[in-house]
A and B are shown apart, each in its own frame.
Chain A
Amino acid sequence: MSNPIADLSYRNYDGPLTSPQARWWSIARQSISQGIKKKFFVTLSLLSASFYFVLLIVFYFVEVLNPAQAPGDKNPLLSMIKWNEQFLNAFSTSQLWLLLLALLIGSGSIANDNRANALLVYLSKPCTKLDYLIGKWVGIFIPLAVVTAIPTFLFYFYCLMSYREYGFLSQDPWLIVRLVFMIILPAAFHASVAMGISSLFNQGRIAGAVYAAIYFMTLFFTKFMQVAWIFSFRKGGSESSGSQFVANLYYMSVDGLQIGLAKHVLGTRGGLMFPGQGMSGQMRPRTGKGLGGANAPPQMNPAELIPTYGSLWLLTAVYLGCCGLALFVAWRRVRAVEVIGG
């Protein structure tokens, strides 16, 4: 017997409906919510911040094992630190993890919708193609940006409180602004490219595999260019003698573009943690003989190993070109109905 109280017949909805404009936020919110619930999201996020944990541990041991000689003195190792470089190193180390995060949350963003015909649902509601694409883009961009931003700014504020006497603020007062731009770089790139590739397929896994293949193939290309750089460097004996063309090509990979641009944004050529230990990015002429004597193996200069700078304009153009092309592909591919020209 049916319950006399429960009216299960159809009733009209007469509640509020918001304006049909700007529906992209609903899509972005949903994409973010689905993305961060994925199984390995937290693990990958923590791994992407791993370099900051390493830095904190190193700083702790530096303070404990190599303290200042007298009260009021500065810790000699901490005094050597170039703070911008620490952020660049952390950024470079996080690239692979950010790619995996992008694959996790971005590769299926449109591909899975293609498989499930979800576009018909989206576009039959008051959403436009632009709303859909913006929503999906923001749904990848925000998690990636937040995953990069949280450890970066936590580390920034920790250093601000702990290492001001070591030049943390005085070395670069605008560091925080630079960091904001640095954080945007991978998030915007991965959001655009992952979305563009995703729109080409009906399976998120295939889209993910294609993006990963592009990443590793360009990485391989980078390694090839690194060898070419070392040869050109050794031939001339200085960085300026290395081919600028090869140096630019060295940055033509998914993470190379971002690291290259991050170097410009942070205003550093990169270097190791304690530059004073003879491993800084500063130029030292190669003698052909090792510092340890005639028989010692020749010491490698970091500038010899890695082209320290790519052309800002070229990197920016390629970065924007890749993002623009991916977004264009997504724009062309997303449609509610297949319209076949007769």
Chain B
Amino acid sequence: MSVVSIESLVVRYGSFTALDGLSCEVPEGCTGLLGPNGAGKTTLLKTMLGFVQPTSGRATVLGMDIRTKGREIRQAIGLMPEQDCHIPGMSAVQFVTYAGELAGMPSDQALRRAHEVIEYCGLGEARYRNVETFSTGMKQRIKLAQALVHGPKLLLLDEPTNGLDPAGREDMLQLVQSVSHGKGVNVLVSSHLLPDIERVCDRVILVMRGKLQAAGTIKDLKKIEGHPIDVEVKETSGAFVNALMEKGFSVQPPKGTTYRVEGPGRPEEVNKTVFKVAKDTGTQIRGLIIAERSLEEAFLEAIKE
């Protein structure tokens, strides 16, 4: 089931078209929203929240229409914005409690829950400090806490690791991963940091110039057309390469001691042929795996198209 369903969505700022007939589905689980700067990621999040009215098209969030059910949608989702944001003059626990009350929680429940999520986000005793005195990492955590306090069904995270040091980034990714797996919270992470997306998300949506460029599981996106395999050998061997090419295989120049080999037929047949050629040419195979692109390669390829 999709948590977000978007059909031909167009959003314009004056004459500038930020989303240009975007159609996509965000399935349950953790999904990454990828795209270069200015691709329309943040506009898409803002449109889902009702901050920006679409010019045309249709979108539903958790089954609710974004044009008519803005309040209900915002009650069911949590937003962790990219920028620093807090309510001035409040301690962390007051801030998160207040965020809960704004979302419709009774005061006592909001206070109890605020302590719970602050603890979960690792702010500990800093909860009694004024948010304005927090470091960047702590501000990121408190933003996550205020987004989680009312138990949202969908969490929108806009650049959650922005400005974090490596340790803080690791902690934040762990928090996101923990929330999004097995806790019933669907997460949409908007980022241009591909390693972060790869780390926490199962699926990605790639947006480019306001249009959908690619969507699917990360595994599918990393797949290379034609099922090439990476063959790691003990030592590079010209005879091995020549023998494969004679059998109609294409072999890319080695990276270290690994050849990327692509041959006709099904993967099992290709593997069988590779092993046979290795045996015939006296080449020792150390490893053989189905070749994959990195997410970065997939991303660059998609935005080139």
A interface, CB within 8 angstroms of B: 8-21, 23, 26-27, 30, 34, 108, 112-113, 115-118, 120-128, 335-337, 339-342
CB-nearest residue of chain A to B83: A117
Q: In the docked arrangement, what's the CA distance between A18 and B106, Å? A: 7
For the complex formed, measure the closest distance between the CB of A282 and the CB atoms of chain B, giving whole angstroms.
51
Q: Contacts A13-B149, A112-B88, A337-B46 given; indicate if A23 touches B113 (C-beta within 8 A).
A: no
B86 touches A126 (CB 8 A): no
Does B120 contact A120, Cβ atoms closer than 8 Å? no
- Determine if A112 and B89 form an interchain contact, defined as CB atoms under 8 angstroms apart: yes
In the complex, per-residue mask of B70-99: 1 if CB is within 8 Å of any chain A CB, else 0: 111011001101011111110000000011
Closest to B90 in A: A34
Neighbouring A residues of B71 by C-beta, 8 Å: 20-21, 126, 128
Q: Do B14 and A124 touch (CB < 8 A)?
A: no
Q: Is the CB of A118 within 8 A of B86?
A: yes
CA separation between A108 and B88, bound complex, in Å?
10
Q: Is the CB of A117 within 8 A of B120?
A: no
**In the complex, are the beta carbons of B105 and A121 less than 8 A apart?**
no
For residue B87, which residues in chain A have a CB less than 8 angstroms away from its CB?
30, 113, 116, 118, 121
B31 lies within 8 A of chain A by Cβ: no
Surface stretch bound by A, among B178-186, B235-243, B267-275: B178-186
Q: How many A-B residue pairs have CB under 8 A?
A: 133
Besides the contacts A124-B78, A336-B49, what 9 more A-B pairs have beta carbons closer than 8 Å?
Answer: A15-B105, A16-B109, A26-B101, A120-B85, A121-B87, A124-B49, A126-B103, A127-B102, A337-B46
How distant is A215 from chain B, measured CB to nearest CB, in Å?
24
Whether B296 sits at the interface, judged by CB under 8 Å, is no
Q: Which A residue sits closest to B147, measured CB to CB?
A: A124
Residues of A contacting B: mostly:
loop
- Chain A proximity of B160: nearest CB distance (Å): 15
Task: Closest B residue to A127 by CB, please name it.
Answer: B102
Chain A residues within an 8 Å CB radius of B12: 342
Alpha-carbon distance A164/B262, docked complex (angstroms):
106
Once A13-B151, A17-B105, A26-B102 are accepted as A-B contacts, the answer to whether A337 and B51 lie under 8 Å apart by CB is: yes
- Asked if B106 and A122 sit within 8 Å, CB to CB, the answer is no
- Complex CA gap A254/B18 in Å reads 45
Q: B52 an interface residue at 8 Å Cβ cutoff? A: yes
Cross-chain contact of B102 among A21, A115, A122 (Cβ < 8 A): A122
A10 in contact with B178 given A15-B113, A126-B71 (CB within 8 Å): yes
Contact of A16 with B119 in the complex, beta carbons under 8 Å: no
A17 near B79: Cβ-Cβ < 8 Å? no
Q: Determine if B150 is an interface residue (Cβ-Cβ < 8 Å).
A: yes
Contact present for B151 and A342 (CB under 8 Å) = no
Residues from chain A with a CB closer than 8 A to the CB of B103 are: 17, 125-126
CB of B187 to closest CB in A, whole Å? 12
Please list 11 pairs of residues, one from A and one from B, whose beta carbons are closer than 8 Å in the complex, sorted by A's number: A12-B185, A13-B150, A17-B105, A20-B72, A21-B71, A34-B89, A116-B85, A128-B70, A128-B71, A336-B51, A337-B51
Within 8 A of A (CB), among B165-188: 178-179, 183-185
A211 to B88, CA, bound (A): 21
* Chain A residue at minimum C-beta to C-beta distance from B42: A337
